[in-house]
Chain A
Amino acid sequence: MSIEDKQLFTVSVYTENNIGLLNRISAIFQRRHINIESLNTSPSEIEGVSKFTIVVNITEVNMKKIIGQIEKQVEVIKAYYHKLDEIIYQIAGLFKIKSELLFEERQIQNIIKESNARIVTVNKEFFVLEKSGKKEEIVTLYNQLSPFGIMQYTRSGLIAVTKEEMKISSLLEAIKNN
């Protein structure tokens, strides 16, 4: 893969926890007409520091430029980018299905078992399945369940941890001691 070829990257952005920062970061992608494939915001391992996990399909050349422009934002502590093979990642999918199907269609039970999906809740009208994994695994499950009728389906943004160490804590420590 050349640095001029488009590929999927996950961008991890460690930030102060401020309103408006999401706008600032997403605007950097918007200006260059880059579609955000998925986006997740959450607390990070460091107290008071938030983490954005953004997935984009772009060239590495552009990725580097964008990382620079993200890090330039005053309230961004550090931004990293990784290729998919450099991270451990998960996506969650939720499926809402009519409860009667669970009992009428034996095959559904097999699908649930084989896919390692989890039943989150069951009531008279519907049950909810949860499946975490790679995007393809969730799409496969969707394709298997789709013929029976899915009432609602939703997929989360990608979340990831890196294989390498992220030195945010020591970075913040260094700033504090400056």
Chain B
Amino acid sequence: METQTIKSTQKSTKKTERISGSEAIVRCLIEEGVDILYGYPGGAIMPVYDELYKYQDKIHHVLTRHEQGATHAAQGYARISGKVGVAMATSGPGATNLITGIADAQIDSTPMVCITGQVSSHLLGSDAFQETDIVGISTPVTKWNCQVTKAEDIPSVIAKAFYIAKSGRPGPVLVDITKDAQFNEFDFSYEKCTQVRSYNPIPLTDIIDVEAAAKLINTAKKPLIVWGQGVILGKAEEQLKAVVEKAGIPAAWTILGASAIPTSHPLNVGMVGMHGNYAPNILTNECDVLIAIGMRFDDRVTGSLDTYAKQAKVIHFEIDPAEIDKNVKTDVAVLGDAKTSLELLLPLLDKNSHKEWHQQFKDLYQIEFDKVIKNDLYPTKEGLTMAEVLKEINIQSEGKAAIVSDVGQHQMIACRYADFNVSKSNITSGGLGTMGFGLPAAIGAKMAAPEREVVSISGDGGYQMTIQELGTIFQQKAAVKIVVLNNDFLGMVRQWQQLFFDKRYASTEMINPDFVKIAEGYYIKARKVTKREELAEAVEEMMKSKEAYFLEVCVEKEDNVFPMIPSGASVSDIRLE
């Protein structure tokens, strides 16, 4: 096929200026409103870093300690702010190190633009030093990607990259720019991209579908809402709350949907999925109408699809047509963004309270409280639980902190027990389950929202996957509160080994270093807690700290996270012990 990298349909009225491709890259970022970007320099991206040096009063480059950290920091930045996160790396290993973060952003629909340097165009395909086919490698994990070999293509490609990353269902975009394109000069002008002809980011909402949905909801006796991140990405928190309150529908959330409606809201019935709350999981298989809003029926949410909500009519509000009927067959699909759809839905809904139905949730919550929550939050045994730490953080932050978790037991505990009373407060790796996500993501989150309290919560395993980012925290003076819940195990894997592999703890025990010393080595205030009576005071000290603070809490080694839907089981077979 003919090579036609980009067709520009944009007309520019601005005056042009003759500058280098590398300066154009930085100017494009500034035009897109980028104030902070995360990255790591190297040979093929050096011309851009030279320009970043010149423009440092306008755009702040954060040197992470690994390119993976740059992507996660960009993700944290994007998730807390709703803006596009930007990561930059050199060619070859720099570029391949971005892949985990890109894949994470793809599956969690996080808007991110990655810019990679590439060897000069005359060397492409020749196995040159630090050459790698990053466009080929990143294709399956990007929403869009593109290689630029001509300086004059830079503005239109970067404009398109930002437009695609943030529009519709957001996602990561990678732009690979050869070194000669960075060096060459051209007449620069910048015009934001507002349309790509082959791309329809937000499908039109059909009022007929909304009416069909309203009819089902109004006749339902036992409706259940499960909302996901689409509500947050679509800025539809208020609209969702209005729908929930008017129709009196119990509403549960997926991990990435957390915080769209406050934890304290009486109609918020908790989290669905593998380690979600008892009531919404059990009652998924009892509801008569299941209303999914901006979620994608991930297998960790549904358990076995053969036994998932078979009794219910399913309504799916969704921006991405490819999600309709992908996992769960819907009766009514409402395409479009959550805000528009819910605004159309609200006036069509009858007022209702569903008191008896709601009582079922309360009754099941009581069972979960007696069997699980009580022991997690108010343990009578000697060892500390992870949930106790979350409880103290809730108290100290009044439930307003942004919780940035890693992946594993502590993540499930954080999602279950943190109070999320402000939207965009649960920043975690949902779809990809990327250990090592938490610490760098917390840096990005804190830098994007310095006014917010940002608490990074990791386990001893994931923490050590990106522990070098303590250097970034120190250098940037990012006031991240770092909590490591240390059980000297890869806890979630150990839990599965206990439950499903006859306690054969293969390679899950960790002999750990002195975490306090490591933090102190980075000049970060640090403390270790091993006893319950020290916990409250230590958390208070951490939360009151004006600068970064590291808190290690040694928790019970072999605690398990319950409730649990065993892999492949039905949501109604959720186990409490």
Question: Contact residues of A with B, CB < 8 Å?
Answer: 15-20, 22-24, 27, 31, 41, 48, 50, 64-65, 68-69, 71-72, 74-77, 172, 175-176, 178
Contact = CB atoms under 8 A, between A and B. Distances in A.
Nearest to A30: B140
A144 to B, nearest CB: 36
Contacts of A18: 1, 4-5
Interface stretch (B193-201, B216-224, B239-247): B193-201
B199 A75 contact: yes
22 contacts: A16-B7, A16-B197, A16-B198, A17-B1, A17-B4, A20-B136, A20-B139, A23-B136, A27-B140, A41-B1, A65-B326, A68-B322, A68-B326, A71-B322, A74-B143, A74-B164, A74-B196, A74-B199, A77-B198, A175-B195, A175-B200, A176-B197
Contact of A76 (B7, B139, B198, B325): B198
A160 B323 CA distance: 29
A125 B368 CA distance: 84
A139 to B, nearest CB: 29
B44 interface: no
Contacts of B200: 175
Contacts of B1: 17-19, 22, 41, 50
Contacts of A75: 144, 196, 198-199
A75 B144 CA distance: 9
Interface of B: 1-5, 7, 135-136, 139-140, 143-147, 164, 195-200, 320-326
Nearest to A22: B1
Contacts of A31: 140
A20 B145 contact: yes
A113 B146 CA distance: 51
Nearest to B173: A74
Given A75-B199, A77-B197, A77-B198, A68 B5 contact: no
A71 B140 contact: no
A7 B196 CA distance: 35
A101 to B, nearest CB: 38
A157 B147 CA distance: 29
Nearest to A27: B140
Contacts of B136: 20, 23
Given A65-B326, A77-B198, A175-B195, 4 more contacts: A24-B140, A68-B323, A74-B196, A178-B195
A22 B136 CA distance: 11
Nearest to B327: A65
A175 B144 CA distance: 20
Q: Which of the listed residues A18, A22, A23 has the most CB atoms from chain B within 10 Å of its own CB? A: A18
Given A16-B198, A19-B5, A72 B321 contact: yes
Contacts of A76: 198
B321 A27 contact: no
Q: Which of the listed residues A20, A24, A48, A172 has the most CB atoms from chain B within 10 Å of its own CB? A: A20
Nearest to B144: A74
B139 A23 contact: yes
Contacts of A50: 1
A72 B147 CA distance: 20
A68 B324 contact: yes
A16 to B, nearest CB: 5
Contacts of A172: 197
Contact of A15 (B146, B198, B325, B326): B198
A72 B320 contact: yes
Contacts of B197: 16, 77, 172, 175-176
B299 to A, nearest CB: 15
Nearest to A67: B322
A22 B3 CA distance: 13
Nearest to A15: B198
Contacts of B5: 18-19
Q: 4 shortest A-B CB distances, which residue pairs?
A: A68-B322, A77-B198, A74-B144, A72-B322
A20 B1 CA distance: 10
A64 B4 CA distance: 30
Nearest to A23: B139
Given A15-B198, A18-B4, A64 B139 contact: no
B199 A19 contact: no
B558 to A, nearest CB: 37
Contacts of B324: 68
A20 B147 CA distance: 10
Nearest to B143: A74
Contacts of B199: 74-75
Nearest to A176: B197
A17 B322 CA distance: 23
Contacts of B322: 65, 68-69, 71-72
Nearest to B9: A176
Nearest to B199: A74
Nearest to B136: A23
A21 B323 CA distance: 21
Contacts of B326: 65, 68
B322 to A, nearest CB: 3
A74 B170 CA distance: 12
A74 B1 CA distance: 18
Contacts of A74: 143-144, 164, 196, 198-199
Contact of A65 (B144, B196, B325): B325
Contacts of B195: 175, 178
A17 B1 CA distance: 7
A17 B7 CA distance: 10
A15 to B, nearest CB: 7
Nearest to B198: A77
A50 B198 CA distance: 12
A24 B3 CA distance: 16
Contacts of A69: 322
